[in-house]
Amino acid sequence: MKKSGCVLLALFLALCASLFFNFVLLAFFGADKAETIAVRRFSPHLQEVTVEDGASGAGKIAVIPIQGLIHTDDRNEWGTSMVDDVKNALRTAADDDDVKAVVLAINSPGGEVTASDILYNEVLKVQKVKPVVVSMNSLAASGAYYIACGADWIVANETTFTGSIGVIIQTLNYQELFDKVGLDSVIFKSGKFKDMLSGSRPMTPEEKAYVEGMVQQVYDRFLGIVAKARDLPAEELRNGIADGRILTGRDAQKAGLADQLGYIEDAYDKARDLADAPDAGVIRYESGPNFQRLLRMLGAGAQTNVQLQIAPGPRFQLQPGCAYLLPEFYAW
């Protein structure tokens, strides 16, 4: 009892010392500079929450959720994006020898092209050292399916909406509105394509062809990744299901986009099988205390801006000129 009390006291004193250090950083350097220094001293921390118990020494299966729109613009209250958080979890699982396999629990309509590609690349890195299994929930479409192609095995629910293999760029034309209110847009540009997505005038045929070429280039990469991952002919995909259509989990399995129909527990079992760890437990990662996050909160607390929101708007809006791997119904 006396020994455990000394340990607790030592931990408390260490925490106080760390807090004091970061408060000093904040006072002398400001939130942004202090955060940079703190990142070098404190790595992001993830806590493990037990989902299913396993046998002692049998290892564990790490569950990493990928939920919501995949993008890097919208940072959470801790100052990190969902891409940052998923990357951190994937790298943690890859570096932990006790983690025998990874299950990606996906419930996402897709998102930004580059954000999806970054996570796909991170999944591939993990897949080279230990098995990765995907479990699809309600949605695993477009960019989310792009990421799933980095896994060894894909489990879809019969009612999952997946597929949507395609790329979308949108802009808004408001020329007629400007004409009605008597406004005119004056643009000075260095080249003929510099304002090709301007909403103040119609696009020229040459501009349309240029943008369509960019979209096609990204689409070809997406198509090639799917064809390689699923061992399907690219041209067969191009002329068939890779036209942007949404598929149910059952149809996706028939088309070769998924390996198995089932639930997340089936994904756990498959991960154990691939890792040859039948008695492994299952854990999921949750974000724990992080001094970088504390500094961000303190810096944000110093701001005095007050905002009044009368009615909630959409959480995410497609940005003009940015390419997305999303179903059409998410393009507003």
Q: Which of 128, 194, 228, 254 is catalytic?
A: 194
Instruction: Respond yes or no: is residue 194 known to be catalytic.
Output: yes
CA distance readout (Å), 299 to 22, 288, 292? 12, 19, 11
**Catalytic hit among 116, 142, 164, 198:** 142
Annotated catalytic residue 142: yes
CA distance 134 to 142: 15
Q: Which of 109, 108, 67 is nearest to 89 (CA)?
A: 67
CA angle, 146 then 149 then 151, to 5°: 135
Helices of type H across the chain: 2-41, 82-95, 113-127, 143-148, 175-181, 205-230, 234-238, 249-255, 264-275, 291-301
Q: Phi/psi of residue 35, each to 5°?
A: -65, -40
Q: Is 39 exposed, middle or buried (0-12, 13-18, 19+ CB in 10 A)?
A: middle
CB 107, CB 86: distance < 8 Å? no
Residues annotated as catalytic are 142, 194
